[in-house]
Chain A
Amino acid sequence: MTTLKINGQSRTTSAAEQTPLLWVLRDELGMTGTKFGCGMALCGACTVHVDGQPTRSCITPAASVAGRSVHTIEHMETDPVGRVVQQAWVELNVAQCGYCQAGQIMAATALLKTAARPNDRQIDEAMSGNICRCGTYPRIRAAMQLASRRLAGAKA
């Protein structure tokens, strides 16, 4: 049995140590906001935060995050940066099919927590590991710029 700290709560899992965190979240804990897109850390759909760092849960053994702080998309509504990002996403109608967007938001939120007003190049670098087959990229960029302006404004 492994104890994990997910979204501020203690959760135990009976999964084998090597079981990727993604499957503990989705299958055992019923937290299906984090998505399965490739299983090889190539698409970003499974992005969570581990101690604030964007992390690909599909290749992260659950046991390896025991004792660390894990946050998922389900937590972002109460996260001071995450909720601003989500609001910008909704206002700019970013999502189409929506499947990649949890991962996009997690990656975007992680960037905006560390870079106050990222330029296009920083956005490209931070986000190019999150694939969107519907092609929502222009609106993702616009939503990140909107969110970052708002976050900067709030701090002013």
Chain B
Amino acid sequence: MSTTFIGQPVSRVDGRQKVTGRATYAAEFQTANLAHAAVVRSTIARGRIASIETAVARRSAGVISVLTHRDAPRLPYRPHKGAVDPAVGERLHLLQDDRVNHQGQPIALVVAQTLEQAQHAAALVRVTYAVETAVTDISRTEPVLPTQEKADQGAGVPPETQRGDPDRAFAAAPVKVDHSYVIPRENHNPLEMHATIAAWEGDRLTLWDKTQWVSNVAEEIAAVFGIASQNVRVVSPFVGGAFGSALRAWPHVTLAALGARVTGRPVKLMLSRREMYYGVGYRPHTVQRVALGASRDGQLQAILHDGYQETSSYEEYSEALLNATRFLHSCANVTTRHRIARLNVHTPTYMRAPGEVSGTFALECAMDELSVALGMDPVALRLGNEPERDESKNQPFSSRATREAYRLAAERFGWSRRNPASRSMRDGRWLIGWGMATATYPMNFAPASARARLLPDGTAEVSSASSDMGPGTWTSMTQVAAETLGLPIERVKFMLGDTRLPKAPVHGGSMTMASVGSAVQAACRKVRQDALARTNVADITEAMRRLERSIEATEEVHPDKQNEGYSKHAFGAVFVEVAVDPDLGETRVRRIVGAYGAGRVVNPKLARSQCIGGMIGGIGMALMEHAVVDARNGRVPNANFAEYAVPVHADTPAAMDVIFVPEEDTRINPLGVKGLGEIAMVGVAPAILNAIYHATGKRIRELPATPDKLIRQA
């Protein structure tokens, strides 16, 4: 009987539930006496509510309550900032005053017997505004320095950094490229809309919520309502995709709880697809400039990377846009300057590889432009500038697999057959192009705890308040637990998604296996030791049989100080083949190969799925996705699946290949895991755009690379 599971392609434990419709998502929990809510949203971006008339709505069939700032209870809104909330600024206080801060801001809440009745009544609320001039045009907004000290989550990077003398080195460099790159706003658009069911019992609140972080929701809602966080239970076993959209506790959670409080009934509030573009955050629009200077033999002499992104007027969202530039390629003279543009929009948020995916897009496209200017192969250019250490912190990397990633991916791809000249490859009438890019994402490890319980019937229950939005946490944690306990996997049950379970960090930042996995391992190790010691036998199954009652251990893990002097990141490389229709400008991605050095891979099957998913997400980013923002008023006119295009079945490349570079890193966390969920998307969009250049000779620097951009340059 094998008990080796870590590193094995174990099948998903929740597979059958998900194919039979038995997996329960937030809006699907059955509660007696449930009422339904709908939100009235502002149709201006900035100003005050001059009048709000609800009498007609109140009289509408089935309506139980209509709340506005005029009559909603005053909420304490105690200060609270979780790690995912912007450090500077204050969340909106819903229905507490007459101010309007963004298009689509909740300004009234309707609760009714049915969803249709609530939606109908919401449309009957009449509002007039005192409109103030809004700033919603990013092209006309002066970017400013962020005020927060930490420009990104946890890395403590100041908004402006410099080493060497980049301006002088750039001026003196014999070969230069200097261009602007634009990425429009993008939306996560998970298939499951965000939803919350709220039910009070006295001053105890239960929330069935769609969240990547149950404990943060409890703390945030407790703070809003001025109650103890122990009085809030949050349940979220299945999350229908999130990609970062469910890290924060958004306004609808507060509104559901408020509606339930006022009506005395459990209330369900579900966002519509259109509301997903206003009611949760998004990847902000970014404008970047990258200037690279090199010697004629391809040594980087200077890197100047500036960038700014949109944020709201009430919170200062800032992401790690320029962090990777400081260590990805070797260069003595580097400057990065990060700015924000304050608009009357709602606050952006983290979306799969926030900052990294956008910043490396600009950097890796610029590197490709430099390789063309040098007449040099793009892989050779990168190999010739491979750093021996993290030059921004003057620290060794804990491990870095870029050389191996380039080699393995290039080999698998057949890169050596590439004709470097653009427009040199064809397939019938299609122009073929090959492009590549480097990928990176930080290794994150946060404090986490887990509990392991052994039962006399020979089964084990292991738990942590983590989430599973698709990566396979249910399964991978079961593997870690089973192997550590020395039990067959069928006898181990893992539980997550409930604040009653031991505290876990946010299911984001690709940190869950590193953090929760290490906690699971520690708890299982401890309880196994206890069981063997108590019963004085060598076999765990025998020990469990002899236990009179169940025993358990709860363990907490923390990053240790010992390896603080190392720079810890996952690295990879992405190679892409595209076909471009020379007349219609349509781009099809035919092949992708990605190679990643991400430390230990706990479940290769699940890990590969993550990488495939990230590649498909990258195709969307490169070729399709674009939240159009009306510069006059902040409205998103394409807030639906017809006009905000996302990859569909027919967009899948015929060949998608994922290689995990064998890598053992003992300096990062007890499991030796770097995380994959986000690096999976990094490097894909620039590789595609670089391939488009190779195919057509046309360089596109503004996403998405839609057909009109390729036709227009003819």
A-side interface residues toward B, CB under 8 Å? 15-16, 19, 23, 26-27, 30-40, 42-43, 45, 72-74, 76-77, 86, 89-91, 93-102, 105, 123-125, 127-141
B1-24 residues with Cβ-Cβ distance < 8 A to A are 11-12, 14-24
B147 within 8 A of partner (CB): no
List B contacts of A16 (CB < 8 A). Answer: 116
B599 within 8 A of partner (CB): no
Whether A32 lies near B28 (C-beta < 8 A) is: yes
List B contacts of A26 (CB < 8 A). Answer: 28
Kindly identify which residue among A89, A97, A138, A141 contacts B191, using a CB–CB cutoff of 8 Å.
Answer: A97
B584 within 8 A of partner (CB): no
B387 within 8 A of partner (CB): no
List A contacts of B282 (CB < 8 A). Answer: none
Given contact pairs A136-B613, A139-B609, A99 touches B190 in the complex (Cβ within 8 A): yes
Q: What is the distance, in angstroms, from A118's C-beta to the closest C-beta of chain B?
A: 12
CA gap between A86 and B20 in the complex, in Å: 8
Kindly identify which residue among B15, B610, B617, B652 contacts A141, using a CB–CB cutoff of 8 Å.
Answer: B652
Whether A135 lies near B22 (C-beta < 8 A) is: no
B-side interface residues toward A, CB under 8 Å? 11-12, 14-25, 27-28, 30, 36, 114-116, 188-193, 238-243, 270, 272-273, 469-472, 605-606, 609-610, 612-617, 640-642, 646-652, 656
A-B contact pairs, 19 of them (CB 8 A): A32-B25, A33-B22, A37-B273, A40-B641, A74-B20, A90-B19, A96-B241, A97-B191, A97-B470, A99-B25, A99-B241, A130-B649, A133-B190, A133-B243, A134-B609, A135-B615, A137-B649, A138-B652, A139-B609
Whether A93 lies near B470 (C-beta < 8 A) is: no
List A contacts of B19 (CB < 8 A). Answer: 76, 86, 89-90, 94-95, 98, 101-102, 105
Of A38, A77, A105, A140, the most chain B CB neighbours within 10 A belong to A38
Kindly identify which residue among B11, B30, B191, B616 contacts A137, using a CB–CB cutoff of 8 Å.
Answer: B616
Whether B21 lies near A34 (C-beta < 8 A) is: yes
**Lowest 10 A-B CB distances belong to which pairs?**
A33-B21, A99-B240, A135-B616, A98-B18, A97-B470, A135-B613, A96-B470, A32-B28, A42-B641, A73-B21
- A-B CB pair tally, cutoff 8 Å: 171
List A contacts of B23 (CB < 8 A). Answer: 98
Given contact pairs A32-B24, A36-B270, A131 touches B191 in the complex (Cβ within 8 A): yes
Given contact pairs A95-B18, A98-B240, A101-B18, A138 touches B656 in the complex (Cβ within 8 A): yes
Q: What is the distance, in angstroms, from B585's C-beta to the closest C-beta of chain A?
A: 20
Of B18, B19, B650, the most chain A CB neighbours within 10 A belong to B19
Nearest neighbor of B12 in chain A, beta-carbon distance: A93
Of A37, A123, A140, the most chain B CB neighbours within 10 A belong to A37
Given contact pairs A30-B30, A32-B28, A93-B15, A133 touches B191 in the complex (Cβ within 8 A): yes
List A contacts of B648 (CB < 8 A). Answer: 128-131, 137
